[in-house]
Amino acid sequence: MNSSVIVFPGSNCDRDIAVALEKLQFKNNMVWHKETSLPKSDLIVVPGGFSYGDYLRSGAIAAKSNILNEVIKAANDGCLVLGICNGFQILTETGLLKGVLLRNKNLKFLGKDIHVKAINTDNKFCNKYKKDQILKFNIAHNEGNYFTSSEHLKELEDKNLIPFKYCDENGIINEETNPNGSLNNIAGIFNDKKNILGMMPHPERMVDDIISNNDGVNLFTSLLN
């Protein structure tokens, strides 16, 4: 499977995701944001970091870069797209995913391990997880507080477009286990066709027992299924 990782000035998780993808047998290319065409890609990853120093709004400037025009075209043609952290923020700024990531409710930058529950596993990204499986991921963000209109929120729930929700180690989903104030404890969302996934936690940091755990592996191997 061919993957492309988009690199912006200020990306800082691009190497991590490349290591994870290569370890899990993807043939990966790094693509600089100024490029005007994409190499052959089954999966495009918009990685985490602080593209353009979070100027204006997180992801706003990166969303207008050359390569994003190609990413939007590919996404609309059904290519799999994964936006992690700043990548999620960029995808919402392009309009590929609806909603917006606001400043964390407690105004603090959050860098820690958290738990999420796999709510929807009937999709290309999560089919190797068990439904309601509790996963330990890592978050590192200042703007992860997912907000959208009440109509869209209802649509996300009704159409099962929420793959992950924040919870505690026992799977309890409530206000106390919500680290950043996201609506309905949302940690990630899909578009309608479920070929675009945006998530704040970093699955690429969870692909090796030596440094963390293996909870992120299935997100990538699901795609190889």
Catalytic residues: 85, 202, 204
Distance between CA 175 and CA 173 in Å, rounded? 7
Can you tell me which of 15, 27, 103, 128 binds another protein, judged by CB under 8 A? 103
Q: Does residue 183 interact with another protein by CB under 8 A?
A: no
Q: What SS3 state is found at 178?
A: coil
Can you tell me which of 23, 32, 56, 224 binds another protein, judged by CB under 8 A? 56
Q: Does residue 66 interact with another protein by CB under 8 A?
A: no
Buried b (16+ CB within 10 A) or exposed e, 188-213: bbbbeebbbbbbbbbbbbbbeeeebb
Question: Taking each helix axis from N to C terminus, what angle separates 66-76 and 86-94, rounded to the nearest 10 degrees?
Answer: 80
Can you tell me which of 1, 19, 30, 60 binds another protein, judged by CB under 8 A? 60
Can you tell me which of 40, 77, 107, 176 binds another protein, judged by CB under 8 A? 107
Residue 29's φ and ψ, nearest 5 degrees, are -120, 140
Region 122-151 residues binding another protein, contact defined as CB under 8 A? 147-149
Nearer to another protein among residue 59 and residue 216 (C-beta): 59
Cβ at position 30, least distance to another protein in Å: 26
Residue 11's φ and ψ, nearest 5 degrees, are -65, 140
3-state DSSP helix/strand/coil % of the chain, to nearest 5: 30, 25, 45
Q: Does residue 57 interact with another protein by CB under 8 A?
A: yes
Count residues binding another protein (CB under 8 A): 17
Chain residues binding another protein by CB under 8 A are 56-57, 60, 64, 93, 99-100, 102-107, 147-149, 181
